[in-house]
Amino acid sequence: MPELPEVETTRRGIKPHASGQVVRQVVVRESRLRWPVPPEINTLLPGSRIETVWRRGKYLLFRTGAGTLIVHLGMSGSLRVEAAGTAPKKHDHVDICLHGGNILRFNDARRFGCLLWTNDDPLEHHLLSKLGPEPLQDEFTAEYLQRLSRGRKAAVKTFIMDSRVVAGIGNIYANEALYLAGIRPGRAAGRISLDRYRELVAAVRQVLSSALEQGGTTLRDFVGGDGKPGYFRQRLKVYDHAGEPCPGCGSELRQIRLGQRSTVYCENCQT
């Protein structure tokens, strides 16, 4: 599913086309997404000016004078910029038509994504209010992780994928960061030392920053706001490489299930 780099790549691609633009019309072809598309998107968004486009965790936020549109891309969704008059494709469920001539087009084959609306502070919305710190901001530190993890028996991979702990780290980048830090994914979060958490924080920052430079990771469905795929897949060291040689030591990469998610690691390089 789109994780932080993919969502941020989408935001960066859309913001120059959307910020300052007035919404002319909203076209909803399919309202049955993860939650039904709320009526406010049709009644309040048209005529409103998009003041800015920002991100919190895996959520895109379009702030207007009338309220805030909250978008989540779900498992396979995308939000891309199209020229006015471009024919919709299969699974193009919602169009946000701008006076400048462009369309923000939401596509989601599995319909696990959502478009929601709030008139209040979006950071107080129940989907965002309990999110942990952003992994690329100063609040995300080894000391924070160690303090929060004490006494926890959950696997460290599950721990860092918990959005209440840190916002935006999904399965792909958890695998990659733990490999780079040399930490076995199944180790109990509460038994990891401060020094090793320092290595993990540095690895998370490095992996996410590199993924952002490459426009995210495209495995099957993801495209950025410009419709282009992400190229970080070419740099993945362990994710999607089970059974192949470890790039560090050459031993076969193992795959297990942790928290019902595919987990790939090296028994020699990760302890």
Separation in Å, CA 98 to CA 18, 79, 108, 160? 8, 14, 21, 38
What whole-number distance in Å separates Cα of residue 221 and Cα of residue 108?
A: 9
**Cβ partners under 8 Å of residue 52, min gap 6:** 15, 19, 62, 63
Contacts 24+ apart (CB under 8 A), 255-262: 256/185, 256/186, 258/155, 258/157, 258/158, 258/185, 258/186, 259/155, 259/157, 259/158, 259/161, 261/157, 261/161, 261/171, 262/171
- Is 105 designated active site? no
- Is 229 designated active site? no
Provide the 8-state DSSP code for 170.
Answer: -
Q: Are the beta carbons of 267 and 208 closer than 8 angstroms?
A: no
- Is 58 designated active site? yes
Reference 179, options 104, 238, 120; nearest CA is 238
- Is 3 designated active site? yes
Q: Are the beta carbons of 161 and 170 closer than 8 angstroms?
A: yes
Region class of 116: left (phi > 0), else alpha (psi between -120 and 50), else beta: beta
Identified catalytic residue from 49, 187, 254, 261: 261
Q: Are the beta carbons of 74 and 1 closer than 8 angstroms?
A: yes
What whole-number distance in Å separates Cα of residue 111 and Cα of residue 93?
A: 9
Identified catalytic residue from 58, 80, 105, 196: 58
Identified catalytic residue from 3, 6, 176, 199: 3
Q: Which amino acid is at 157?
A: K
What whole-number distance in Å separates Cα of residue 179 and Cα of residue 171?
A: 12
Which residues are catalytic, by number? Answer: 2-3, 58, 261
